A and B are shown apart, each in its own frame.
Chain A
């Protein structure tokens, strides 16, 4: 079945450093979604990318969707302690447009 993989699983950075997490799907995706989950919290939708090669920015966060629509990345510039949490990518299953397959997430810790 469809697999969505994320690397790295964990990332520790000093405040002010940049951070990138990568997402790879075993199948071509119609779109890719990103979520953030704070420690002890629930996942919160950040963004959806639809077009091949699409790049979107939200303040210090930059999201990219690969040309082949099988990979994506999230880059955070100059991390802050408020960025702490786990970042998940998710893509729709091939047989159902609404059901998402989630990656295992990248857990980010930021040392002040």
Chain B
């Protein structure tokens, strides 16, 4: 099925552990995004990639790194997880005038 695939769907980390959230889209979109969603705070942009080979910081980049491996894949890495990074993470890609297509999300808990 065409769309955005995120893995894993759920993850529990201990403080200080690292992990990579994977995202892949098969719609040939140029732009890809990572958002986090916390209760009452809407969606906040962490990093984005306007095209293969480019990445830029969003509103809340601290504690995260990203890699745009190719046109399809855009990964988000937490080098040393903190409880403040407990959140739901969404990857998205877009096509101009057709809005964002979001993945199903990764629910991350840091204990």
Residues in A lying within 8 Å of B, measured CB to CB: 9, 33, 35, 41-48, 88, 96-100, 102-105
With A43-B102, A98-B31 given, name 13 new contacts (CB 8 A). A33-B99, A42-B105, A46-B99, A48-B97, A96-B50, A97-B96, A99-B33, A99-B48, A100-B45, A100-B100, A102-B42, A102-B43, A103-B42
Tally chain B residues at the interface, Cβ within 8 Å: 24
B97 A104 Cβ-Cβ under 8 A? no
* CB proximity to A under 8 Å, residues B33-58: 33, 35, 40-45, 48, 50, 58
Which residues of A are found within 8 Å of B101, using beta-carbon distances? Answer: 45
Give the docked Cα–Cα distance between A46 and B102 (Å): 12
Give the docked Cα–Cα distance between A48 and B97 (Å): 7
Which chain B residue shows the least CB distance to A42? B102
Pairs A-B, 9 closest by C-beta atoms: A45-B99, A104-B42, A42-B102, A102-B43, A102-B42, A98-B31, A43-B102, A42-B105, A42-B104
Which chain B residue shows the least CB distance to A98? B31
Give the docked Cα–Cα distance between A44 and B98 (Å): 11
Give the docked Cα–Cα distance between A22 and B48 (Å): 27
Asked if B73 is an interface residue, CB under 8 A from chain A, the answer is: no
**Nearest CB of A to B57, in Å:** 11
Give the docked Cα–Cα distance between A88 and B50 (Å): 23
A35 B45 Cβ-Cβ under 8 A? no
**Nearest CB of B to A26, in Å:** 15
Which residues of A are found within 8 Å of B44, using beta-carbon distances? Answer: 102
B50 A98 Cβ-Cβ under 8 A? yes
